[in-house]
Amino acid sequence: MTGAYALHALPGEERARFERHLAGCEPCAQETAELSATAARLGLAVTVSPAPAMRERVLHRVSSVRQESPDGPAAVRTGRSGPRGRLLSRWALAACLAAAAALGGTTVWQHQRAEDALSQARRARQGTAEIAAVLAAPDARTRSAALGDGATGTVVVSQGRDQAVFVVAGMAHPAAGKVYQLWFDDAGTMRSAGLMDPDRTDQAVLLKGGLDGASGLGVTVEPAGGSSAPTTPPLALLGFPA
């Protein structure tokens, strides 16, 4: 349901149910973030109003075509459906609750994990909204460049919002213990703008901090956790669009 949710195509009850699921599911939160940002960016390129019947056709297809879960086809195949599957799920839930009740420490630990997952999902939703706002800003300007090894990067800048987003595709994973770090280029002086996710080759990253007159961004390879100043030459330097 991530695609339908990102396009605001779910009715109220299903949307509320999906948001409850989203609060505890990191893969869905990440996929929703990426789809929302993509939908917002694609919306900038569309200038032709769709036919009135288009929405109904799309919603009909959404309801009739099953979407794979973010964990892949295997996760779908291993699930059970129907009354027997629901009965087994209830028995499994009862067994888990009984075990947790017998181990008070485990219950506290599980509760903390759930709270952490909820906080993470909330941060992901907030980040999604900010990325989408930059991509959809009326004054958004873009510049793209090849990053080597088939990777491409696009910077989207909104002067009105004083924010920028870096969208990358096909980025190779950094070496073990390393991470890609983003920098604002302030007339040759690099100011940290946050870290990329080392486990993802395609991602959209909201640069941390305001533009403050920066002329572009740079990407370097840094030790895990990042650095206060670049320790390697930039892999790429992208000037901000005028």
- pLDDT reported for residue 119: 53
**One pLDDT digit (tens) per residue for the chain, 242 residues:** 888 887 777 888 888 898 888 888 888 887 877 777 676 666 555 455 667 777 777 777 776 766 666 555 544 444 455 555 555 555 555 555 555 554 444 444 444 554 555 555 555 565 677 888 888 888 999 888 888 788 888 899 999 999 999 988 888 999 999 999 999 998 889 999 999 999 888 888 999 999 998 999 999 999 999 999 999 999 889 999 87
Considering the entire predicted model, what is its pTM? 0.53
CA atoms of 234 and 220, how far apart (whole Å): 5
With CA atoms as reference, report the closest residue to 172 among 154, 196, 191, 194: 196
- pLDDT reported for residue 75: 47
Q: Residue 149 has which token pair?
A: 């090894």
| Spatial contact of 194 and 207, defined as CB atoms under 8 Å apart | yes
- pLDDT reported for residue 46: 45
Whole-Å CA distances, 234 to 83, 203, 219: 57, 19, 5
- pLDDT reported for residue 122: 55
Whole-Å CA distances, 68 to 2, 20, 71: 10, 19, 8
At 64, the amino acid letter reads S
pLDDT tens for 4-41 read: 887 777 888 888 898 888 888 888 887 877 777 676 66
